Each structure stands twice: as C-alpha cells, then as structure tokens.
Amino acid sequence: MLQESSVDSSGSRFAPLVVLELASDTKEEAIAWLLNRLRPSNHLPLFDQLGPGIGVEEKENPNMFLVGASMQRLLCGAEDLGLFKECTDGSMRAFTFASKHNFKDFKGDGDGFLSMAECQYVIKHELDTLRAKEETNVPGYSHAKLYPGKSIIRRLLSKGILIQMFPLHENEELKRLSFSWYKKVKVSLQPLDDIRHYYGEGQALYFGFLEYFTFALVPMALIGVPYYLFDWEDYDKYVVFAVFNLIWCTVILELWKRRSASLAYYWGTLCRKKAFEEPRPGFHGVLGHNPVTGRAEPIYPTSKRHLRVYLVSLPFVLLCLYLSLYIMMIYFQMEGWALSIYDENPTFWTHILLFIPSIIYAVVIEAMNLIYRYAAEFLTEWENHRLESSYQNHLVLKVLVFNFFNCFASLFYIAFVMQDMELLRQSLATLLITSQILNQFMEAFLPYWLQRRRNKKMIRKIQKRRLYEEKELPLVEQVRLEADMSTYLGTFDDYLELFLLFGYVSLFSCVFPLAAVLVVLNNITEVYSDAFKMCRVFKRPFADPAANIGVWQLAFEAMSVIAVVTNCALIGMSPQVRSYFPESETQLILCTVAAEHVLLGFKFILTFLIQDVPKHIQDKLARLEFESLEALKKKVKSDSALTFFTLLPLSKLLPVL
C-alpha cells in the first residue's frame, strides 16, 4: 500500500518514490558502500531496503531499495534543478526555497506543492549527480573504475550492477487519471494537465500533439467525406483539395509551435535553464578533462566521430535506401508478371497469385524495417555520441529517412512514374487500414495480454499463501509487480507513427480524400490505446521536462515541404490543369514549377510571419528577463553607491581664445 508511510526521527513521513534494483548477486561490500554514499549526512534522499517479499524461497531479488526524501530536501532539490512554478501573481518563476511563500500552491510545509512526478525527477537528478570523489573502483568490482566526478549510478548501470531504477506508480492517482483519460465514454479533451502532473511534460506534449493533430485533421476530413460520397471517380477535381493541403500543412505546424510554447510556459519548462548534459552511459574514450566543466571524463575526438558518421553510417544508409528501392522495383516487376499470367489464364489460382507479390513485399518491408532499426541503433551506438540528445537525433534521422523511403517510395513510384491514380488510391487505403489495425494490436493489446498473464501468476502465488481482505496489493508486492513490467522506451515509435500518418495525409489525401477520415479514426483509438498502455502495461517512466517535441517538429516541417512539392506535381498532372495547356507540355511544366516556387517562398514567409511564441507569453518571458537584468543593475548601483562626483566650473579652466 503506497499510502502506508513511516515516520522518521525528525517527524517527517517516508513516502517511497523511486526503486533501485541491484543485481541479486551484488557483493555485500558494494551494497554497503553505495548505501553509505546515499546516507543522509550527504544531503541525499532517505532510502530503505525492500523487505523480503512472498517468494524469497523462489529466488526473488533481495537487493531492491526504496528511495524517498523529506519534503524540505525535495524542495531544495527542486530549486537546484531550477524548476519553474506559478507565483501568486500568475507568472512563472524559478522556485527558490527562500521565496517559497510567493508561489501559488505553496501551503504549510509544502506538501502537495511538487507533483509526485517532480519529486521522482528530483530524486533521479540527485542520484544521477552522485559523484565519485577520488580515483577508485566500486568495492568488490575491480573492473568498475571510478574517477573524480564520475556519476556513480551511471557506472553501476553500465557495469550491470544496478539493473534498473524506476519511479513508483501511485495507485489512487493512477485510477483517477485513467478514469478521466480513457475510461469514460463521453467525448472530451484529454486531461493534459493531469497527464503532465503524473507523467511529466514530455509525455503530456506527445498527447497534446496527438490531440492537436487530430483536431487539425477534422476540417480536411469534413471536406473529404462529401468528396468521397459524391465524386468518387471524379478524381481530376482534386486541385481544390491539393491547394487546401498546401496551406493546411504549413499553418497547422506553425500554430502547433505556438500551442506547444503556451503549454510549455504554463508547465514551467519553456524558460527553465537546462543543466549541463552528462555523457551518456555508453560513451567511451580516453580519460581527459571536459573543456566546459573542467571535470574528468572520457574524451572522444569529434573528427573521429565525423569520420564514422560520414564514411560508414552515411554510405550504409544510402546502401539501405538503394536496396529498398531495388526491392521495390522487383515488387513492381513481380506485380507485372502476376498480372500478365492472370491475363493469359484467368483462373482462381492465378487470381490468388495476384495478391502474392503484395504480401511478399509487405513482409519484406516489415522485416527490412526491423533489421534496419537494429542496424541503426548499433551504428549510432558505435558512432559514440557524447550526449543522449545527440544520440537520439542521429538515431531519429537514420530511422526516419529509411522509414519514409520504405513507406512512400512505392506510392511516389505509382503516382509519378506509373501515373496510375486508381492504383495509388487503392494502395493508400490498404496501407492506412492495415497499419492502423496492426499497430494498435502490436502496441497495446499484445503487451497488455502478456503483462496480464504474468500478473495473474503473481497474484495467484500471493493468494496461495494468504487470503486478501483488501483488494489492494501490499507495497512490497506492488513494487515487485512494477519491477517486472516492461520498460517504456519513450515516445519514439509513437511519434514515428504520427509522422507517417501525417505523410499519408499531407502528400496524397487529394487523391484519396478519405485518408483524413481514416487518420482521425486512427488517432482517436490511438489516444485510448496509448493511454491504456501508459497506465497499465508499462513501468512508470521518469518525467522528462521537455519544452517542445524536439527533433520531430523539424521532421514534420521537412515533410510539409515535401508535401508542397508533391501536391504541386499532382496538380500539374491533373487532367483538369492539363486541359488548360492542350498543345504545350513545356508550358504546363514551367507554370507548375513557377507556382511551386512561389508557394515554397510563400510558405517560408508564412513561417517567419507567424510568431513561434504567442505575444502574451513573449511579454511574460521578456518581463522575466527584464527583472533579472534590473536585479543585476540594482546590485551594481548599490555596489557603486560610494562613488561621488562634484560639479566643476570647467569653463574657467578651458583655454578660451
């Protein structure tokens, strides 16, 4: 029971926040050493070893520790992190312990001022910045070297001594959240503030983006439905749709930036200064001194990394793209053969043969995506990036380019080389519907089912020993259950899916107007399945104080540029436009190209004109900046108040001629 908490000697309650799981065969001296470093005299959180659970005889890991901290310690940690909170005057300011009573929700000792996600993030930060003081090694592990300034937790993780570190769920909160999020049937917005409160800003921004994207698609879906109902075969009238598409994809991305800035401002992440990033756990190199912090850390020359990126990774990615293109060409050839065989001899078996190439191609594409994903992860790891963010950017870029190619190359081929709009529409519909069903099954229901089986086993085990009066599990069992849950790997795959859907809609929805409708439907179910997955399937992730959707904004913008070009080309190819240039194809192409350039130029001007941050937030940010400058000036003035000047009648001294 998470509600159950203990009282320490100074009278504050112990609320368990984070779990540390060490390997079950960790040597005693290492545990003692680590616990010693976590001891409160170092101003570090309280901790507690998890009592043996039910299944000690079944070789359950005895080395699980609960970490908590007093409210005062957490508040100091929040100040240390520079968390922004709302003040009584409605503005957002960096929290400081000294000025705590200026903050809106601060009452009494500050209980409830920080959300549990924030408390857990504070503890994670404190654990991450627990540093070795001298050159030594983890006691009992001579290969786990430590040097001054090295994060102990990261070394323990990289050597496999620390298996995992995860924050605990709050059952009451979780119930409330899941009820307002996905359990009620009535149509309403997602509880973004609650999601942020429970899972942190990174998650909340993902769900905010998903919701925003869905709403942005509604007008397009509304145009698409009558189009589909009344004009199904009259697809040469898609010029209107394509023009709408053009403007739509630019405008919604710009408006999202504004919305994201608003959200991030009120969540306090927009102006929070980020701490200097630590090297990621897998980073290796010769021990040297970081030029920025002066701390000892591994140094790896940037030039070597560039060599690896440009001479190995880049050619590899290009090779994979070529391969993917090659396989696509084989698919179209097979398709042609199958068709010719069917035309020669139209029987039942040859009719089935028609589907064989598509099926083979779909399977091969999925396999290639999977293999490529592993290869990309391996390569990016091998590139040895110093920062997690740079690792993520390189991985996202690699996976994105390949996925884009794999998903869209065949569609582009059909549209621009074969110029078969009917086939394009069919392919799009098939792709959208199958990917929707497959994704939601693979993403949420399969893991949930596996999870459920594991849980049931565990609960049966417990019930064997004793009968429950209460429905809730005791804390010890709760922790063990959560430790067994799968780890949530971040929003990467969710964003990738949205990216591909955005691509289908913005590139080709003029050919298949129902695409927007399908994507809206998909997004609605996606909200539920993602929410369900977050609440029930995965371990709670640590909060990620993100201020925007990061590299994905760039990816979506790149897609919208490609959409402009594609839509222009589709307009140029439409019979409606062609009929205006009956004799001269050259003129048609020149006009299309000119229109495309004007539109691209217009798009960039629009990007400049629509400000990324709404005016009232800009004012608030400027006010914060202004106040800090004024504070600095006051300091200067009071320092220099000693200086004193006298007025001098200099005209007498000047040589008047």
Instruction: Show contacts with a second copy in window 232-291 (CB under 8 A).
Output: 273, 275-276, 291
Tokens for 340?
Answer: 């010719």
As measured in angstroms, the least distance from the Cβ of 267 to a second copy is 21
CB 54 to a second copy: min, Å? 6
Judged by CB under 8 A, the number of residues near a second copy is 79
Q: How far is the CB of 60 from a second copy (least distance, A)?
A: 12
Site for a second copy in 283-302 (CB under 8 A): 291-293, 302
> Is residue 87 close enough to count as binding a second copy by CB under 8 A?
no
Give the span between the Cα atoms of 600 and 434, in whole angstroms.
Answer: 33
Of the candidate residues 60, 79, 482, 493, the single one contacting a second copy (CB under 8 A): 79
The region of 367-375, 376-384, 436-444, 614-622 touching a second copy under the rule CB under 8 A is 614-622
Q: Tell me the closest approach of the beta carbon of residue 533 to a second copy, in angstroms.
A: 30
Strand partners for 18: 67, 167
Within 28-57, the residues that bind a second copy by CB under 8 A are 39-41, 43-54
- Tell which residue, 568, 551, 552, has the closest CA to residue 603: 568
Q: What phi, psi does 227 have (nearest 5°)?
A: -55, -45
Name residues contacting a second copy, limited to 96-155 (CB under 8 A). Answer: 96-98
Complex with a second copy: residue 304 or 623, whichever CB lies closer: 623
Tell me how far CA of residue 92 lies from CA of 87, 216, 270, in angstroms. Answer: 6, 29, 10
Query: Residue 570 to residues 162, 252, 573, 602: CA-CA distances in angstroms?
Result: 56, 21, 5, 19
Query: Residue 322 CB, nearest distance to a second copy (Å)?
Result: 16
Site for a second copy in 11-30 (CB under 8 A): 14
Say how many Å lie between the first and final Cα of the chain, rounded: 96
Q: Distance between CA 467 and CA 360 in Å, rounded?
A: 53
> Min. distance of Cβ 490 from a second copy in angstroms?
24
State which residue, 512 or 552, has the beta carbon closest to a second copy: 552
Name which of residues 500 to 519 contact a second copy (CB under 8 A). Answer: none
86: phi then psi, degrees, rounded to nearest 5: -80, 135
Residue 401 or 423 with smaller CB distance to a second copy: 401
Q: DSSP readout, 569-598?
A: HHHHHSHHHHTTSSS-HHHHHHHHHHHHHH
Burial string for 272-298 (b: 16+ CB within 10 Å, else e) reads beeeeebbbeebeeeeeebeeeeebbb
Tokens of 627: 């106040």
Contact call for residue 66 and a second copy (CB under 8 A) = yes
> Judged by CB, which is closer to a second copy: 70, or 491?
70
Question: Per the structure block, which two tokens stand in for 109?
Answer: 């000792």
C-beta of residue 324 within 8 angstroms of C-beta of residue 333: no
Nearest-approach distance from CB 654 to a second copy, in angstroms: 5
Instruction: Report if residue 467 touches a second copy, rule: CB under 8 A.
Output: no
- CA 113 to the chain's CA centroid: 26
Euclidean distance between CA atoms 490 and 551, whole angstroms: 14
**Contact status: 622 vs a second copy (CB under 8 A):** yes
Q: Which of 22, 73, 182, 431 binds a second copy (CB under 8 A)?
A: 73
What residues from 433 to 462 belong to the interface with a second copy (CB under 8 A)?
A: none
Among positions 551-610, residues that touch a second copy (CB under 8 A) are 565, 585-586, 589-590, 593, 597
Smallest distance from a second copy to CB 9, Å? 5
Q: Which stretch binds a second copy (CB under 8 A): 94-102, 217-225, 353-361, 370-378?
A: 94-102
Candidates 9, 188, 579, 638; binder of a second copy (CB under 8 A) is 9
CA distance 87 to 95: 9
